[in-house]
Structure 1
Amino acid sequence: MTALPVEGAAVLRLMESAAPFSHPHDQNDYDVGLLLSSDPGQPHAVAVLIMPQDGTRLAASCCANMLRTFPNIQTVIMVGIAGGIPRPDDPDRHVRLGDVVVATEGIIDYGHIRETDTGPVLRGRRGGGLIAPRLLRAATRLRAGERNGSRPWEELLGPAVPAEFARPAPGTDILRIGTHHIDHPARPEPAPGEDMPRIHYGSVGSADVLMKSEQRRDALAGQYSEIAAVEMEGSGVATATADCGRNWFMIRGIADYAASGKNDIWHAYASYTAAAWTRALLGVTPPLVELRDDDPALPLVAPAPENDVVALLGRVPGDIDLRAVWAGAVPELPEPGLPLFADVIDLYHYLAGMNARPGVSHPAFRFVDWLGHLLAGDPGPALRKWASRQSRTGVRAPLPTPGTPPGRSGMARPSLTLQITVDGLDRGLCRITPYLQVASGPWRPEPDEPIVTQVGGLAGETAKLVAAAETRWRGVADRADIEFLLPVGLLNTAVQWFDGPEILGESRPLCLDYSVSLRSLERMREVRIHRAWSHRWRQIDQQPFTGRVLWGRGSAAPDDLQRWRRELDGDARYLVVVLSEPPGTTAGDAELRAALRAGVPVVLWDQRIPRPESGTLGLEHLSAEPGRLPEHTRAARLDAVQATPGGRAHYGRTVALLWDDADRPISERGAVA
């Protein structure tokens, strides 16, 4: 939690994969992402809340809402700035601007007072809540390492500090008592460099009081010798975490001396030093321990709801296809032996014996929910209600919506993927390798023998392959998709308007009967960028959608194009790129290759040169809902046919979509399940 935008910006600058998040029943806005832990393979999952303003009461309210929205949060860390308590006569405890104070000895609520005839009297220490023991242990490790010269937070400071968080000039760190200037004492050994912060461990004063009084500050320091800083949120957060059974930790960068004449000169740098030390702290903190696959599973639900679902499953019709339910609900799991598919209750108990995975609803709940969706009558609605209730109160992960598009939940619809490569010697020849996904389920397409043809004969061969696929799809109720896995040189080919197979003496363009999308052959082959590709693809399905759309720079100057590429590479939230020109042009090729290299899974463009205003408006309309681009693109193409003769004035006629599912790889040896 942070109280000021500058504090939140400092934290977000040091996070990985930060993305905005909101919840319809929570007025707070969040950013969620990752910070490294002591285990390189398992970072900490972090939610960041920037409060609308400071104050202990508001902090308590915001914290309570955050813990309801993110019920798996274990520790709330308050990160930001504070007023320091200087002690020039005691060099060991003297706090200077830019230093960091860690509240290892708790919080003193100095606003909790008793009014007496002689004036206000503090009612004593009120360090509510529990200081996070995991982080106390990690702070001890950092403190011990510092005595040996190890200060990992300094790697993030000095020349590495972004310009907007730069350390102010030394002459601005002015300490006064009244009108008298006081010299700072020499730093005790072992001391960091003059341009690096000291880390202080002690207690922090907290109250709804903006401290701007040297006398009041020094009186507080005299009463509590271990107090090192004062701020305005800690006591509220400590109270909220105590009420919710969580713990807290506080890290503060010193931005002023809590005295008259205070200013904002050191706010940004102090925010950054606090954030840097926080990152170092979490970097030596082990991640939360998860159940391993071989750990014995705890009972999934209590006996009463277990009896309820068994009774409901006993009313499921005997002719239900349980293998189809399995494929729809838990496609990521291998199928068990056939005997289990003979009894729906046995299949439920088999799934209930598994461990849940982080962030995913338990497979038993998904199985019951999917079964309920397939049963329009009794006991379908009751099964869905049971699964929804258990998922909310048990594993606390939302149930997926049945029927989500391919690649969005590990599922693939029936599809035909045509991998097309151009001959290395005769550029007029190409090879088509078809991969057929026969039915909905896990991605397991069947490769067929390649076909060699002239590039000009692609449309005719495609029609034959689609006709052959339709014979295999006979009896499949789901809509089928067509994908073209193309080299960059062919990506602007209008494959969506290839004629499909002739039916009753008539052939229609493929895009009228199928969702037609493109994929990148070069990226499929370049495994070194698959990790970035997979990372961005995972965000496509987030609800609400938190990704970003980046528009191309067109015929910009080279420097502008380089800045555009740096923006793309530096922000993993860019999931969609809209090209300013189609592939085959200088600008289009440069933008496309940058998007592919960065791992952007979705690329959209208009195939016309130059792009008319109607095309730009059409692309704006489509990119407004990136998660539904395949459906909306197909709808635009259908509209194009009906809009004008030939449909050539409508953007749907010339829109191209690269929808590159990172969960559906194809290697040179065939499809990878």
Structure 2
Amino acid sequence: MLAGDLHLDLPPGLSPVQLFTYTTELNVQPDGLPPAVLLIEHAAELTPSPDRRLALSEWASGWARRAGLLTALERRRAERAETTADPTIPRCLVVAVEPARDGSDDVVVRPWLNTVPGRWQPWAAEPETTSLDGLGRAVERVLRQVVRLTPAPHAQPSVLSGRTPPYVEFVLPYDLLNHDMAGLTVSSADGRPEPLGLKYGVHLRSLERMRTDDLLVREQWLERWETLRSRGIGVHGWRTSDRTGPDAWQAALASEPSRTAAVLDAPDGGAATEAVKAAIVEGLGLAVWDRRGEFSEERREVVTAVFSSVPTPTQIPLAIHRLRRTAGLDVAGPCSWGGTSPSSGTTPTGWSTSRPPPTTASTTTTARRTGYERTGRP
């Protein structure tokens, strides 16, 4: 919030005293207000103590009055009051991963952290170069930079209370979309490794789509998301065994704007990857596939049932996270989070429901969002 007000990236990991000292060395804002005074303002909003909130707010008002800047301060307060927090935006880590292009197999990891739920104001953390095998450790290091992003060791997971859980979002090139990002291991509170997808919601986004400057692609993406919000999920399926190729599938998507989600075989190269690219070009905001390869009909029915059980599109990430987390408990047991499916190398996703089809089923899925309701995200 403060970083957004100042239009600056603030250094992570500072104590309150260090942050105050840092802001005293910054230039005043265009309206004349010093960043340190704005820090006091934000501290007043965030403190749970009414007495302390009043004391901090009165201090800021007194300083601004003496400096002849009370009007500017009150204008800032009015602007913040008009800004409504969006409950669908949780704390999150966004990680862009792409090849280092230095002749090695390394990747460059560029993270952003959004530490305040309800507001989209991410700040960039330091990038680093690592191997794919070291990606989990790189993600863990970034998560530890902001303690508030990490759930408290003894707190009930937010997924159980119905709130949107903190999530980790990977922005990936096409050739990494089927990499098991949810299966990356991070250390738990007691030091044991556990899959990332059991602790956090894990989303994937297309690096190529983010970098496109094609206005038509962007317009189609916005139209599909508006359809998703207003009419719900309309699934369009792709199977590698289909006689029609990706071109015909894309043509069908283009002619059916009511389709807002795709269920596909794994994009591990070939026709399935081309189908994912076509879905992105046509603006679909949601795709789900089985990482192991062919997405069987039974598992497709499970995903369709999950979509049917979601009352609003904003709850899709929570539904997928529940699916993955429940499967981890079913497979590994409550005392072990490290269980994986030998056939897939990823934590299987199980789901129980009272709606048809079968009440209990198992599948391995990777949920990816090719777009967002909020267009200002990095």
Query: What is the aligned partner in structure 1 of residue 219 from structure 2?
Result: 531
The residue number in structure 2 matching 1:437 is: 114
1:534-560 Cα distance to aligned partner (Å, 9 max, x none): 221233322xx34521111423234x5
Counterpart AA for 1:487 = P
> What CA RMSD, in Å, does the superposition of the two structures yield over aligned residues?
3.4
What is the CA distance between 1:587 and its match in structure 2?
2.7
Letter in 2 for 1:572: P
Contact 1:487-1:522 within 8 A present in 2 as well = yes
TM-score (norm 1): 0.37
Q: Does 1:595 align with 2:276?
A: no
In structure 2, C-alpha distance between the alignment counterparts of 1:588 and 1:629, rounded to whole Å: 23
Alignment of 1:657-672 (within 5 A): 657-663=367-373, 672=378
Question: What is the CA–CA distance in structure 2 between the aligned matches of 1:590 and 1:339, rounded to whole Å?
Answer: 54
Q: Report what 2:354 is aligned to.
A: none
Deviations 1:447-506 (A, max 9, x none): 122100112221221222222233566899984211000111011111111112342222
How big is each residue's C-alpha offset from its partner over 1:168-196, in whole Å with a ceiling of 9 and x where there is no partner?
xxxxxxxxxxxxxxxxxxxxxxxxxxxxx
- The 3-state SS of whatever aligns with 2:109 is strand
Q: 2:248 is aligned with what amino acid? A: R
**Could you tell me whether the CA contact under 8 Å between 1:540 and 1:575 is conserved in 2?**
yes
Matched residue, 2:174: 488
Partner of 2:63: none
Match of 1:493, SS state, is coil
The correspondence of residues 648-663 of structure 1 with structure 2, limited to 5 A, is 648=341, 650-652=348-350, 654-663=364-373
Q: Say if 1:602 and 1:347 are closer, same or farther in 2 by CA, change over 3 A.
A: closer
Aligned with 2:97 (options 420, 438, 447): 420
Provide closer, same or farther for how the CA distance between residues 321 and 576 of structure 1 changes in structure 2, counting only shifts above 3 A: farther
1:450 maps to what in 2? 127
Structure 1: gaps of 5 or more residues: 1-316, 323-335, 352-362, 371-401, 406-411
Q: After superposition, what is the alpha-carbon deviation per residue over 1:96-141, rounded to whole angstroms, capped at 9, x for unaligned?
A: xxxxxxxxxxxxxxxxxxxxxxxxxxxxxxxxxxxxxxxxxxxxxx
Q: What residue ranges of structure 2 are gaps of 5+ in the alignment?
A: 1-48, 55-70, 159-163, 333-338, 351-362
State the partner residue of 1:552.
Answer: 238
Q: Deviations for 1:504-546, whole angstroms, at most 9, x for unmatched residues?
A: 222321122211110100100112122211221233322xx34
In the other structure, the counterpart of 1:254 is: none
Indicate how the Cα distance of structure 1 residues 527 and 500 shifts in structure 2: closer, same or farther if over 3 A, else same. Answer: same
SS at match of 1:644: helix
Deviation of 1:657 (Å): 0.6
> Are the equivalent residues in 2 in contact too, given 1:555–1:587 (CA < 8 A)?
no
Distance 1:597 1:427 in 2: 30
RCO (CA 8 Å, sep 6+): is it higher in 1 or 2?
2
Structure 1 equivalent of residue 74 of structure 2: 339
Q: Whole-Å Cα distance in 2 between the matches of residues 469 and 568 of structure 1? A: 41
Q: Which residue number corresponds to residue 643 of structure 1?
A: 330
Q: What is the distance in 2 between the residues matched to 1:440 and 1:481?
A: 11
Separation in structure 2 between the aligned mates of residue 600 and residue 504 of structure 1, nearest angstrom: 40
Specify which of 280, 287, 290 is matched with residue 606 of structure 1.
Answer: 290
1:374-413 to structure 2, matched below 5 A, reads 403=87, 405=88, 412-413=89-90
Instruction: Map 1:211-230 onto structure 2 (within 5 A).
Output: none
Q: 2:196 aligns with which of 507, 510, 513?
A: 510
Alignment partner of 1:567 out of 248, 252, 255: 252
Contact kept in structure 2, 1:602 and 1:659, CA below 8 Å: yes
Contact 2:178 2:267 in 1 (8 A): yes
8 Å CA contact 1:553, 1:561 repeated in 2: no
Give the alignment of 1:94-105 within 5 angstroms.
none
- Tell me the TM-score normalised to structure 2 length: 0.64
DSSP 3-state at the match of 1:494: coil
Q: Find the aligned partners of 2:175 and 2:106 in 1 and give their Cα distance.
A: 13
- Distance in 1 of aligned mates of 2:233 and 2:297: 25
Give yes or no for contact 1:615–1:651 (8 Å, CA) kept in 2: no
For 2:206, the equivalent position in structure 1 comes to 520
Contact 2:175 2:269 in 1 (8 A): no
Cα drift, residue 340 of structure 1 = 5.8
Deviation at 1:663, TM superposition (A): 4.8
Say if 1:637 and 1:651 are closer, same or farther in 2 by CA, change over 3 A.
closer
Q: CA 1:603/1:474 → structure 2, altered by over 3 Å: closer, same or farther? A: closer
SS at match of 1:495: coil
Deviation readout 1:216-241 (Å, 9 max, x if unpaired): xxxxxxxxxxxxxxxxxxxxxxxxxx
Contact persistence 2:288–2:366 (CA under 8 A): yes
Separation in 2, partners of 1:524, 1:555: 30
Asked if the contact 1:466/1:500 (under 8 Å) is kept, the reply is no
- Report how many aligned residue pairs link the two structures: 277
Distance 1:616 1:447, change over 3 A: same
**Over residues 576-630 of structure 1, what are the superposed CA-to-partner deviations in whole Å (9 max), with x where a residue is unaligned?**
1111x11114231121010011111111111112334543232222232372321
Residues 629-638 or 612-621, more deviating:
612-621
Q: Greater Rg, structure 1 or structure 2? A: 1
CA contact (8 A) 2:110 2:127 kept: yes
Per the alignment, in what secondary structure is the counterpart of residue 518 of structure 1? strand
SS at match of 1:508: strand
Q: Is the 8 A contact 2:233 2:307 kept in 1?
A: no
CA deviation vs aligned residue, 1:286-335 (integer Å, no higher than 9, x gap): xxxxxxxxxxxxxxxxxxxxxxxxxxxxxxx967989xxxxxxxxxxxxx
The C-alpha deviation readout for 1:236-283, integer Å capped at 9, x for no partner, is xxxxxxxxxxxxxxxxxxxxxxxxxxxxxxxxxxxxxxxxxxxxxxxx
For 1:383-432, what per-residue CA distance to the aligned partner results, in whole angstroms no more than 9, with x for missing partners? xxxxxxxxxxxxxxxxxxx73x2xxxxxx321100000112343511100
Matched AA of 2:181 = V
Matched, 1:578 2:263: yes
**Do 1:618 and 1:651's aligned partners in 2 also have CA atoms closer than 8 Å?**
no
Tell me which amino acid in the other structure corresponds to 2:94: T
In 2, Cα distance between equivalents of 1:483 and 1:413: 12
Partner of 2:58: none
Q: Which amino acid aligns with 1:524?
A: M
Which moves more between the two structures, 511-520 or 529-538?
529-538
Q: How does 1:107-186 map to 2 (within 5 A)?
A: none
Contact 2:253-2:282 within 8 A present in 1 as well? yes
| 2:309 is the counterpart of 1:632 | no
| 2:142 alignment partner in structure 1 | 465
Answer whether contact 2:326 2:349 (CA < 8 A) is retained: no
Give the letter for the 1:455 counterpart.
L
